């Protein structure tokens, strides 16, 4: 069974940092592009970042460029999101999601999602 | 920049047909995916690449995409279909991903 489990969320002061993790099981993480998607209070889903299966392409939404860094450790079947200089606008639930097509140079549909981890940025 | 437009909410009577639309410039030339999201749960892919249904998704769910509008259709709507529905596209040129604003379906 494919499973994604996020962790690392919590309460953090503005300007501070947080590192999210996503552990995959039931499939080989190394074969898939992976993404981080967030849902902010009262708003919908927002794609945050994506990384190709081979880490050759890493992309961010404009609002987090220069502050967030996505990475993966295929040996640990894990995906990470380092979030620096956090602002209140970053508050929300963060999901990791799997891109369905293996070893692709393009991105497609997200066929598996974790339950999410809550990030609360507040003083 | 590219935008996806969804209605905030759609209401449908039990057993009737719900249609949720996603508007975008020449969206018919892009692959559109649809997700169902219930509070406190992980989003679920219900339609991928315009018309395809993942295994486990009821046949009541279908999709279409042409011109400037993609549509998710749910026939014989059930209370369990109540959720937020999001369309999503990949913007190949910038390699970024875009979600629509979401539509809350009430049955």
B93: confidence class by pLDDT, cuts 50, 70, 90: confident
Q: Give the closest-approach CA distance of B93 to chain A in angstroms.
A: 10
Inform me whether the C-beta atom of residue B67 falls under 8 Å from chain A C-beta atoms: no
For the record, the structure tokens of A47 come out as 């794609």
- The contacts of residue A120 (CB under 8 Å, 6+ apart) are A9, A10, A11, A12, A91
Asked if B98 lies within 8 A of A107 by C-beta distance, the reply is: no
Determine the pLDDT at residue B98. Answer: 97
Q: Give the closest-approach CA distance of A84 to chain B in angstroms.
A: 21
Inform me whether the C-beta atom of residue A27 falls under 8 Å from chain B C-beta atoms: no
Cβ contacts (< 8 Å) between B41 and chain A: which residues?
115
For the record, the structure tokens of B57 come out as 């998704």
For the record, the structure tokens of A87 come out as 């602002």
The answer to whether residues B12 and B79 touch, using CB atoms and an 8 Å cutoff, is no
Across the beta sheet with B61-66, the strand order is: B18-23, B69-74, B61-66
pLDDT greater than 90 at residue B105: yes
Cβ contacts (< 8 Å) between B97 and chain A: which residues?
35, 47, 50, 107
Inform me whether the C-beta atom of residue A115 falls under 8 Å from chain B C-beta atoms: yes
Cα B41 off chain centre by: 17
Minimum CA–CA partner of A107 in chain B = B90
The pLDDT tens digits of the residues spanning A61-76 come to 999 999 999 999 999 9
Minimum CA–CA partner of A41 in chain B = B39
Q: State the Cα–Cα distance between residues A57 and B62, nearest whole angstrom.
A: 32
Inform me whether the C-beta atom of residue A89 falls under 8 Å from chain B C-beta atoms: no
Beta bridge partners of B87: B34
Q: State the Cα–Cα distance between residues B99 and A48, nearest whole angstrom.
A: 11
Q: State the Cα–Cα distance between residues A70 and A60, nearest whole angstrom.
A: 9
Minimum CA–CA partner of B45 in chain A = A111
Minimum CA–CA partner of A113 in chain B = B42
Mean pLDDT rounded to a whole number for chain B: 97
The pLDDT tens digits of the residues spanning A19-55 come to 999 999 999 999 999 999 999 988 899 999 999 999 9
């Amino acid at each position: 069974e494919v499973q994604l489990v996020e962790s690392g969320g919590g309460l953090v002061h503005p300007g501070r940092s947080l590192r999210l993790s996503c552990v995959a099981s039931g499939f080989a993480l190394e074969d898939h592009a992976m993404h981080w998607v967030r849902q902010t209070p009262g708003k919908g889903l927002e794609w945050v970042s994506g990384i190709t299966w081979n880490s050759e392409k890493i992309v961010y939404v404009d609002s987090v460029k220069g502050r967030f860094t996505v990475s993966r450790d295929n040996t640990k079947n894990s995906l990470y999101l380092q979030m620096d200089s956090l602002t209140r606008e970053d508050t929300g639930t963060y999901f990791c999601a799997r891109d369905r097509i293996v070893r692709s140079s393009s991105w497609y549909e997200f066929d598996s999602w974790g339950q999410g981890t809550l990030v609360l940025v507040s003083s | 920049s590219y935008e996806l437009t969804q209605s905030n909410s759609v209401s449908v009577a039990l057993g009737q047909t719900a249609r949720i639309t996603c508007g975008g410039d020449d969206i018919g030339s892009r692959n559109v995916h649809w997700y169902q999201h219930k509070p406190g749960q992980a989003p679920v892919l219900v339609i991928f690449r315009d018309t395809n249904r993942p295994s486990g998704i009821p046949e009541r769910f279908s999709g279409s995409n042409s011109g400037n509008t993609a549509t998710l259709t749910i026939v014989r709507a059930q209370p369990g279909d109540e959720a937020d529905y999001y369309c999503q596209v990949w913007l190949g040129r910038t390699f970024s991903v875009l979600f629509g604003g979401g539509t809350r379906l009430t049955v």
